[in-house]
Structure 1
């Protein structure tokens, strides 16, 4: 089945300008969409599936750029095309590779969050260290003042 721009936009729930930018992105990576005589893109089932997967992966991999997500998808699509008709084990490996890429990106995101949390905790520890030093310095100065006062006999005035 073939789709026009407005049909694809409705299915994907995106604007025509977004569809155009996605198509240009893929074309920049040497992906070819069929074109009508007037030069407008005509989308095939494979194109629709590619765009749907792109949008889904983009949502799951927010740290990756659109270019990185598109490039990864085209690598997998090219591998499938090159080995079309290969054993089902190969297809399973390709699917596993895609899952590995997704989970690697999710782990990268989680690591980035952990790094941020670790830095925040380190700042709080540093702040506590400064506060502790202030308190220790204050206690030491009070002890020195007490010792000085004791030497000068001031504390002796208050003892029975």
Structure 2
């Protein structure tokens, strides 16, 4: 009989979407080369600068320009802007902390192209806690309120 972890791995493989085709070239999963902690931290810093620069600066500016050009811009109240800034800062702090953990404890980077050489559980644990204690209960309450019995039936039929 196969060990429990092998059965779990097989079940996870059956349940997931087949997305290997997106992980090729520079995005292919590769073990980080053996290097000093400072090298891993430097690589992670570069990744953070590039990806945050793209997703939190370049892309939003492009979207804002398009919104204004097509008259789709919706002004937000100052309170919403401040709440967004606070959320961004909190999420950024968690992201940086996770990236440092992957670099120092995992001996790699958060990206698959130089993935950690050692298992780092902290990274997933924080996201899981936030999801299960904050986001999921609010979402489930909203779905229950909006869809009632149909959502309850769905929730009974599927896993979390």
Question: What range describes the TM-score normalised by the shorter chain of this pair?
Answer: under 0.3
Q: TM-score, normalising length from structure 2?
A: 0.27
TM (norm. structure 1) is 0.27
Which protein has the larger Cα radius of gyration, Structure 1 or Structure 2?
Answer: 1
- Compare the two structures and name the one with the higher strand fraction: 1
Q: Relative contact order, CA 8 A, sep 6+: which one is greater?
A: 2
